[in-house]
């Protein structure tokens, strides 16, 4: 997904706060003040936050707007997609099944799901659920398989065989949504239930997460849901996102939608050895299993406040200013969440917002809250990431300009434009069409239509920056008969080849 220009936008607080009497009560006004400045700096229309201490939700508040145009406020019950914070639910379900003796995390995944096929014999023989839940299979992301895709979960899984390794098996960390989809499929095979039903029965219902769901339809019915916003240009204007990358097949990797109140139940169980309201919902051993480091997620250790990140199962384990923490972020379609636990202090913070411009800051947004809550020295997290963000925008513009600058002038396509029209197919990404409308070529893909602009020779590109949609670069090739026979399209991983089928 594309990045967008930063703009300043004044937003006031909205939504009622909820707090218990705690040692932190006097800290909340200062936290509110920080959130206010954070939202202004990063152009965030709406944000929700919940703080859990031991076994209580001690602070829950909505800030700004869930619907900017209608001026509808965010509250503690406003539903947001939590995106990849779904992963801990999937990992916890797996460790629960392991405690129950229904699943061995260290046996080959194909023991339970024979239809799961990888691109080579080693992966078929060795990849375990633990490997998939800790991003150590060596496979690159291939997110274009699922983004805005019409595929079923079964169809998505059938495409794993086309995913080529980037690293050797267990030789490195590559964040991979597809492997979480596969892990969820193993859970389905073991239990005979859909992943959605399994998560609902094992976790959502026992934890009274009654407002939490999976689909846009469920979210819309609540009447209290947040829209996401992006910045189309350098003005202070925000627009509602219309491009939807979410796909039901993604389920186990990032489909859950929830609110602060419901997420507090999840946080309480995680902090209290699996207990919620006195009931042992999750075995303590299952939670501990997710906290065991499996893979080095961050070898650089860029910031002095943070140790190197180690990926457990569905979350990152590291230290922050001397405290062991467990964190994860989520991002999908303009929604960004952060879930941070400090187990030794019995503290957990959940934050979620609806602004594309502030997407890059999601990994740090809980740290200033933690600093204020625990009386730690302040670090310039927002300023650091703002500097990174601006540098990233400049680099993105430079990269785009360099592509256009390399265009060979005064060249023409090898065929009349109408001869590029057709339907093309990739075994991994499905079908992509080229249409002729109003004397122009359009790329048609997964329900979206993109104007194709000529770059040089038989290469074209799209420019959708003002429309909040992904861009493509397309290179057509001719066959032995001199006909337009295929097109190569960069989709984020190795270049995809789409062969003409009609």
Instruction: Read off the pLDDT of residues 78-99 as tens digits, 9 standing for 90 and up.
Output: 999 999 999 999 999 999 999 9
CATH for 271 = 3.40.710.10
Q: Are residues 354 and 447 located together in one domain of the fold?
A: no
Rama region for 321: left / alpha / beta (φ>0; ψ in -120 to 50; rest):
left
pLDDT band at 11 (very low <50, low <70, confident <90, very high): very low
Q: Over 90: is that where the pLDDT of 232 sits? A: no
Q: Are residues 234 and 369 located together in one domain of the fold?
A: yes
* 152 within some domain: no
* 88 within some domain: no
**Residue numbers of the domain that contains 458:** 417-500
pLDDT, average across residues 361-387: 95
Q: Over 70: is that where the pLDDT of 15 sits? A: no
Q: Are residues 332 and 470 located together in one domain of the fold?
A: no
Q: Are residues 424 and 455 located together in one domain of the fold?
A: yes
Q: Are residues 235 and 362 located together in one domain of the fold?
A: yes
pLDDT tens-place string over residues 403-426: 788 889 999 999 999 999 999 999
* 145 within some domain: no
Closest to 450 in 3D by CA, of 431, 466, 469? 469
Closest to 44 in 3D by CA, of 25, 28, 68? 68
Q: Alpha-carbon distance 445 to 435, whole Å?
A: 11
DSSP 3-state assignment of 434? strand
* 164 within some domain: no
* 189 within some domain: no
Could you tell me which residues come within 8 angstroms of residue 156 by beta carbon, excluding any fewer than 6 positions away? 145, 146, 149, 178, 181, 247, 249, 250
Q: Over 50: is that where the pLDDT of 5 sits? A: no
User: Is residue 421 exposed (0-12), middle (13-18) or buried (19+ Cβ within 10 Å)?
Assistant: middle
CATH for 451 = 2.40.128.50
As a whole number of Å, the CA-based R_g of the chain is 23
pLDDT tens-place string over residues 45-59: 999 999 999 999 999
User: Which residue has 């409308």 as its token pair?
Assistant: 437
Number of domains in the chain: 2
- What is the structure's pLDDT at 6? 27
DSSP 3-state assignment of 408? coil
pLDDT band at 113 (very low <50, low <70, confident <90, very high): very high
pLDDT band at 235 (very low <50, low <70, confident <90, very high): confident
């Amino acid at each position: 997904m594309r990045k967008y220009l930063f703009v300043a936008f004044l937003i006031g607080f909205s939504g009622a706060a909820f707090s218990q009497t705690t040692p932190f009560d006097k800290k909340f006004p200062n936290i509110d003040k920080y959130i206010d400045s954070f939202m202004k700096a990063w152009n965030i229309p709406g944000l929700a936050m919940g703080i859990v201490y031991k076994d209580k939700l001690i602070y829950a508040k909505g800030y700004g707007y869930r619907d900017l145009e209608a001026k509808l406020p965010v509250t503690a019950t406003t539903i947001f997609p939590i995106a990849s914070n779904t992963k801990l639910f999937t990992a916890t379900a797996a460790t629960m099944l392991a405690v129950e003796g229904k699943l061995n995390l260290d046996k080959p995944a194909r023991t339970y799901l024979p239809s799961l096929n990888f691109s080579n014999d080693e992966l078929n023989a060795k990849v375990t659920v633990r490997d998939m839940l800790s991003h150590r299979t060596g496979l690159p992301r291939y997110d274009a398989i699922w983004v805005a895709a019409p595929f079923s979960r079964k169809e998505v899984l059938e495409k794993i065989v086309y995913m080529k390794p980037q690293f050797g098996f267990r030789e490195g960390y590559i964040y991979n949504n597809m492997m979480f989809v596969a892990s969820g499929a193993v859970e389905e095979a073991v239990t005979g239930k859909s992943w959605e039903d399994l998560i609902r029965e094992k976790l959502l219902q026992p934890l009274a997460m009654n407002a939490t769901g999976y689909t846009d339809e469920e979210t819309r019915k609540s009447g209290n849901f947040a829209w996401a916003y992006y910045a189309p240009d350098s003005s202070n204007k925000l627009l509602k996102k219309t491009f939807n990358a979410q796909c039901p097949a993604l389920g186990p990797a990032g489909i859950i939608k929830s609110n602060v109140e419901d997420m507090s139940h999840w946080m309480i169980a995680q902090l209290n050895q699996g207990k919620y309201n006195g009931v042992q919902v999750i075995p303590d051993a299952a939670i501990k299993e997710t906290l065991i480091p499996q893979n080095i997620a961050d070898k650089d250790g860029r910031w002095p406040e943070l140790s190197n990140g180690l990926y457990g199962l569905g979350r990152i384990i590291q230290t922050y200013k001397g405290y062991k923490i467990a964190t994860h972020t989520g991002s999908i379609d303009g929604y960004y969440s952060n879930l941070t636990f400090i187990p030794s202090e019995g503290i957990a913070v959940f934050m979620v917002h609806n602004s594309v411009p502030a997407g890059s800051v999601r990994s740090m947004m809980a740290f200033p809250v933690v600093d204020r809550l625990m009386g730690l020295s302040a670090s310039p997290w927002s300023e650091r990431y703002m500097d990174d963000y601006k540098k990233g925008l400049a680099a993105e513009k430079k990269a785009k300009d360099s592509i256009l600058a390399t265009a060979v002038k005064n060249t023409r396509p090898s065929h009349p434009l109408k001869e590029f029209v057709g339907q093309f197919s990739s075994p991994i990404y499905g079908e992509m069409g080229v249409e002729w409308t109003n004397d122009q070529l359009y790329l048609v893909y997964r329900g979206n239509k993109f104007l194709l602009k000529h770059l040089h020779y038989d290469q074209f590109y799209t420019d959708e920056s003002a429309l909040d949609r992904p861009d493509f670069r397309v290179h057509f090739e001719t066959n032995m008969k001199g006909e337009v026979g295929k097109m190569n399209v960069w989709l984020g991983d190795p270049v995809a080849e789409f062969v003409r089928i009609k």
